[in-house]
Amino acid sequence: MSNIIDLSLSELVSNIKKKKISSNEVTSAYVERSKKSKNLNSYNEEVFDSALKKAKEFDSKPDFNKKLSGVPIAVKDLFCTKNVKTTASSKILSNFIPSYESTVTQNLWNDGAILLGKLNCDEFAMGSSNETSYFGNVVSPIDKDLVPGGSSGGSASALAAKLTPATIGTDTGGSIRQPASFTGTVGLKPTYGSCSRYGIVAFASSLDQAGPMTRNVKDSALLLEVMSTFDNKDSTSVDFKRPIYSKDLSKDIKGKKIGVPKEYRVDGMSEEIDKLWEDGKNYLKDCGAKIIDVTLPHTKFALPTYYIVAPAEASSNLARYDGVKYGFRTKGDNLIDMYEKTRSEGFGDEVKRRIMIGTYVLSSGYYDAYYLKAQKVRRLIKNDFNNVFQKVDAILTPSTPSSAFKIGDKSNDPVSMYLNDIFTVPVNLAGLPGISIPAGLDKKGYPLGLQIIGKPFEEQNILNIAYSMEDKINFKFNIKDWWMNE
């Protein structure tokens, strides 16, 4: 059998169930490797001792009827974990220990998975490069100068470096799909309402969704199937019949109609991305799908809309961090002074910037001009997708306008950083499912991804399309262990 860390999530589960390897062997392998990988800065909090203890407990009384029996998993530090520090990579939550568990992580543990630790991310998931974290930037295992993407950058880095067999992230404007694309991994953002938001540190409540980040499409289907449940604790959770995604996974996509939106061919897009997209269409044709040109006319307005809606919701969600209930406080002369000093010291620059944008667009006199306007444009963007989905079953686009950039390259110019999410943000605004799969390398040898967007609650369809494309693409990418300490 090959090395434990080279096995996919599905292979691990199957080997543990066949008693070919023990949970302890698997967990020990990941703990050892994670301990030697501090240079990547992908962990905020490690719970290795407790993971090893749970693995031994599993082995002494194994339950092989679970979907993730005895498999260790590290998760983004935006999911609340009971009695384990949860910081959202912010100073203001740096002492916060939740007394409750997020529904999505609880689903993982209920199905036999074991928590390895909490992974670094952009502060409150606000960022596209994992450079806004209070605990420092995360390094991509592909190159020491490279960002892993964001905001689920610690998740992407740990996954690509094989510090965890799979992981989960959250995606508000591309925070699962963009880092997956940057690191040659698979990232899926489910339909809004598919995965419960209960216990996830809130950023923009009408956009946030949790989703799986994995090494291949089959693992993505398996993890989604565990994560996605109807939950009374989330008022926007949708009660629909959830398929058993991994069981129903199929490479038969003959006759599927795939839309290609001309508006996604943006100014200044590199020839490499264009070629990648062309290749993607050809792979789909090889699988028997039909390519159809479609139009999403309001695409260019998606990002400016997002940068009104998301900060507005964030300014409201982050009002709760006032120095009273979440562990961190800066002393002040009076109550208001304490609030202002706590928030000034506790939040980083990007978070403050977004709270200020949000406060401004919601403030008296500007609400109609900005917030209401953005909500109307959001309707137009959603209508664009509705129209296109009358004619096609799914949409194919690049995941990002470029490959991963260097640390520090975009951190001084907020707008150029925001433009990273140009292909992913419209999907969140419309509440649709989208998956990014690795599809090729650019001239520098860095991974590039393709995104498949589906109709609401048709995750099975985009998973199947991704599954057949994965087969044709046959993406091979070996990362050397340059960062490891002995």
Partner 1 sequence: MTIDLKTVKHISKLSRISLDEEKAKKLETDLNSIFKWIEQLNELKTENIEPLNSIAETKLRLRKDEIKSKNIREEILKNSPDGNKDFFVVPKVVE
**What is the C-alpha separation between 300 and 304, in angstroms, rounded?**
8
Q: Phi/psi at 405 (nearest 5 deg)?
A: -105, 175
User: Computed from CA positions of residues 345, 346, 348, 351, in that sequence, does the dihedral angle turn out positive or negative?
Assistant: negative
CB 63 within 8 A of CB 69: yes
CA dihedral 104, 106, 110, 114 (to 10 degrees): 100
Of 254, 271, 244, 312, which is closest to residue 448 (Cα–Cα)? 271
118 as an active site residue: the answer is: no
Q: How far is the CB of 97 from partner 1 (least distance, A)?
A: 6
Tell me, yes or no, if 205 is annotated catalytic.
no
Using DSSP, state whether 192 is helix, strand or coil.
coil
Tokens of 442: 């650019």
Q: Which is nearer to partner 1, 360 or 477 (CB)?
A: 360
Q: How far is the CB of 455 from partner 1 (least distance, A)?
A: 13
Catalytic-role residue among 76, 162, 189, 455: 76
Q: Which amino acid is at 326?
A: Y
Q: Which is nearer to partner 1, 334 or 474 (CB)?
A: 334
Look at phi and psi of residue 124 and say left if phi exceeds 0, alpha if psi is from -120 to 50, else beta.
Answer: left
Taking the C-alpha atoms of residue 146 and residue 129, their distance in angstroms, rounded to an integer, is: 9
Among 10, 175, 436, 468, the active-site one is: 175
Q: Mapping DSSP to helix (H, G, I), strand (E, B) and coil, where does residue 481 land?
A: coil
Nearer to partner 1, 162 or 329 (CB): 329
The whole-angstrom separation of Cα 124 and Cα 130 is 11
* Amino acid present at 355: I
By beta-carbon proximity to partner 1, the closer residue of 180 and 427 is 427
> Cα(first)–Cα(last) distance of the chain, in Å?
24
Whole-number minimum distance, CB 325 to partner 1, in Å? Answer: 6
Q: Catalytic residue at 14?
A: no
Smallest separation (angstroms) from partner 1 to the CB of 140: 26
Residues 305, 428: Cα–Cα separation, whole Å: 11
**How many angstroms separate the CA atoms of 473 and 440, rounded?**
8
Least Cβ distance, residue 369 to partner 1 (angstroms): 9
Measured from the CB atom, the residue of 139 and 308 that comes closer to partner 1 is 308
CB of 447 vs partner 1, minimal distance in Å: 29
Residues contributing to the site for partner 1 (CB under 8 A):
95-97, 99, 192-193, 206, 232, 235-236, 238, 298, 300-301, 304-305, 307-308, 315, 319, 322-329, 332-341, 343-344, 347, 352-353, 355-357, 359-360, 363, 370, 372-380, 382, 414-415, 429-431
> Which positions ≥6 away from 131 have C-beta within 8 Å?
122, 137, 147, 150, 407, 408, 411
CB atoms under 10 Å from CB of 461, counted, come to 18
CB nearer partner 1, residue 244 or residue 319:
319
With a CB cutoff of 8 Å and minimum separation 6, the contacts of 185 are 156, 159, 160, 213, 214, 215, 438
CB of 386 to partner 1, least distance (A): 12
Query: Which positions ≥6 away from 268 have C-beta within 8 Å?
Result: 401
Which candidate in 151, 155, 157, 436 is catalytic?
A: 151
Cβ distance to partner 1 smaller for residue 296 or 308: 308
Considering the complex, what minimum distance in angstroms separates the CB of residue 156 from partner 1? 25
Q: Which is nearer to partner 1, 6 or 337 (CB)?
A: 337
Active site residues: 76, 151, 175
